[in-house]
């Protein structure tokens, strides 16, 4: 997406020139899935697909918001005074900026004038690449720069999570907003969701690239069983806590979990908890493998993550399973697995560069035969977090 096309898009809607341009990435996750609300570790990275904005400050107190991706909703107008800006309205895309604005102001941000904002995103819609976290962190950056707010990046992440949990009503963890906000080119972010300690880890995958495989099965997180799975993890933890003092599932190692697993009273709860504990352990093993440049082992751990998400956590489905299982059989593939919430959306595969074309052709063919429609493939470029773009780029 060029700044020029953003400028043209803005002009076509607002009949004037924009002042500033912004971008916030989406994210993929290499390993550590459904661990972020269990006090575990995650290992995501920001990608060069994301959400763009062209912005101009207004002199009155009105926000005029337009998204090319939701053109049917037209330009949405709200003023700072009205309760309109404080409340969620249906499933409008503007709930995300409104939520960010509300909570930033509740935390003391002084915002007295409005903005015209033109948005366009190139993340495939509903594909589990965190288009909502991208939008939240994009508006965080816009509000911060346009109104000279001093907000610590981790507080901005927490504001995004609050929007998701309290404004939108999805009980998601912290991974997506964190990955988007703290993204660093060619690095993944190792985050301990218990302590919020993190480090950037350079992604050295030799002659391999990461392919994003989109099932093209829409995955509405809010509609999915996401909240239910989270509750099951909480319930399993409560049952374990009758016999062992542990704050989270992520704080348990495999051996201790095994010793106390008899306290969990149903098979589904046992499987959910087992996934959370084992997946967290896998993140640690994957870090060691990456540091030792044992890429084959790193890939097997990625595969193991999918197996666990399929059989223990039960969040894959035939589309994601077809992609991962077919990918495992292709030459030059280190590993493959579903990413994000599940039920649809995307998987990733780590593939040797010169095998990419053959990989996409074969996995695409098998997917179409089995599922009845096509999957899409993109090479992931690992990108920086939210940024202001300059004219001429």
Mind telling me the catalytic residues?
Answer: 176
Distance, in Å, from the CA atom of 30 to the CA atom of 48, rounded to the nearest integer, reads 16
CB of 306 to ligand GAF, least distance (A): 13
Choosing from 173, 299, 335, 386, the residue that interacts with ligand GAF (CB under 6 A) is 173
Q: Which of 13, 24, 53, 176 binds ligand GAF (CB under 6 A)?
A: 176
Annotated binding residue 164? yes
When asked if residue 340 is in the footprint of ligand GAF (CB under 6 A), the reply is yes
DSSP string, 204-266: --TTEEEEEEE------GGGTTHHHHHHHHHHHHHHHTTTS--S-STT--HHHHHHHGGG--S
Residues 10-49 that bind ligand GAF (CB under 6 A): 33-34, 36-37
The answer to whether 33 is annotated as binding is: yes
Give the shortest CB-250-to-ligand GAF separation in angstroms: 12
**9/26 with CB nearer ligand GAF:** 26
Residues 6+ apart with CB under 8 A from 334: 205, 208, 295, 296, 298, 299, 302, 350, 351, 352
Nearer to ligand GAF, 44 or 114 (CB): 44
Instruction: State how far the alpha carbon of 384 is from the alpha carbons of 150, 266, 338, in Å.
Output: 20, 43, 23
Residue 193 counted as an annotated binding residue: no
The half-sphere exposure of 271 on its side-chain side, counting CA atoms within 13 A, is 13
Alpha-carbon distance of 145 to 94, in angstroms, equals 19
In angstroms and rounded to an integer, the radius of gyration of the C-alpha atoms of the chain is: 21
Region of 93-101, 170-178, 184-192, 325-333 interacting with ligand GAF (CB under 6 A): 170-178
83 assigned to a ligand binding site: no
SS3 category, 268: helix
- Where b means 16+ CB within 10 Å and e means fewer, 54-87 reads bbbeeeeebbbbbbebbeeeeebebebeeeebee
DSSP state of 299: H
Residues 185-204 that bind ligand GAF (CB under 6 A): none
For the CB of residue 300, give the shortest distance to ligand GAF in the complex, in Å. 20
Is 127 marked as binding a ligand?
yes
Cβ closest to ligand GAF, residue 341 vs residue 386: 341
> Binding site annotation covers 90?
no
Nearest distance in Å: CB 340, ligand GAF: 4
Minimum separation from the CB atom of position 172 to ligand GAF (A): 3
Stretch that binds ligand GAF, among 137-145, 169-177, 350-358, 371-379 (CB under 6 A): 169-177
* 73 vs 224, beta carbon nearer ligand GAF: 224
| 291 membership: H or E segment, kind and range | helix 267-291
> From the CB of 224, what's the least distance to ligand GAF, in Å?
9
Has 36 been labeled as part of a binding site?
A: yes
Residue partners of 387: CB distance under 8 A and separation at least 6? 22, 23, 24, 141
- What angle separates helix 153-162 from helix 95-106, to the nearest 10 degrees? 120
Cβ closest to ligand GAF, residue 175 vs residue 190: 175
Which residues contribute to the annotated binding site for substrate?
33-36, 226
- The contact set with ligand GAF (CB under 6 A) reads 33-34, 36-37, 172-173, 175-176, 340-341
Which residues contribute to the annotated binding site for ATP?
67, 126-132
């Amino acid at each position: 997406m060029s700044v020029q096309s953003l400028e043209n898009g803005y002009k076509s809607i607002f009949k004037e020139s924009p002042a500033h341009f912004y971008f916030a990435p989406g994210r993929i996750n290499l390993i550590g899935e459904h661990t972020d609300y269990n006090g575990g570790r995650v290992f995501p990275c920001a990608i060069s697909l994301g959400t763009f904005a062209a912005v101009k400050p207004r002199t009155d107190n009105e926000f005029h918001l337009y998204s090319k991706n939701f053109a049917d909703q037209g330009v949405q107008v709200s003023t700072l005074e009205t309760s309109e800006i404080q409340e969620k309205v249906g499933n409008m895309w503007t709930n995300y900026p409104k939520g960010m604005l509300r909570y930033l102001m509740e935390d003391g941000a002084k915002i007295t004038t409005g903005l015209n904002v033109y948005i366009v995103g190139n993340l495939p819609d509903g594909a589990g690449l965190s288009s909502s976290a991208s939008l939240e962190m994009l508006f965080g950056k816009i509000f911060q720069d346009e109104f000279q707010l001093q907000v610590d990046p981790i507080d901005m992440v927490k504001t995004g999570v609050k929007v998701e949990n309290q404004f939108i009503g999805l009980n998601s963890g912290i991974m997506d907003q964190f990955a988007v906000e703290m993204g660093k080119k060619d690095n993944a972010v190792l985050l301990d969701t218990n302590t919020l300690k993190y480090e950037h880890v350079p992604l050295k995958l030799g002659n391999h690239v990461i392919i994003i495989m989109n099932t093209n099965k829409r995955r509405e997180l809010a509609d999915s069983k996401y909240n239910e799975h989270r509750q099951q993890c909480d319930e399993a933890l409560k049952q374990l806590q009758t016999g062992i003092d542990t704050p989270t599932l992520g704080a348990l190692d495999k051996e201790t979990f095994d010793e106390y697993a008899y306290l969990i009273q149903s098979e589904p709860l046992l499987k959910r908890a087992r996934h959370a504990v084992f997946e967290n352990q896998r993140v640690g093993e994957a870090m060691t493998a990456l540091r030792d440049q044992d890429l084959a082992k790193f890939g097997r751990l990625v595969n193991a993550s999918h197996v666990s998400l399929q059989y223990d956590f039960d969040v894959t489905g035939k589309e994601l399973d077809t992609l991962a299982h077919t990918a495992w059989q292709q030459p030059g593939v280190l590993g493959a697995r579903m990413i994000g919430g599940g039920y649809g959306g995307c998987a990733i595969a780590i593939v040797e560069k010169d095998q990419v074309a053959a990989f996409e052709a074969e996995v695409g063919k098998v997917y179409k035969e089995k599922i009845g429609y096509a999957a899409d493939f993109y090479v992931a470029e690992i990108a920086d977090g939210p940024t202001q773009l300059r004219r001429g780029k």
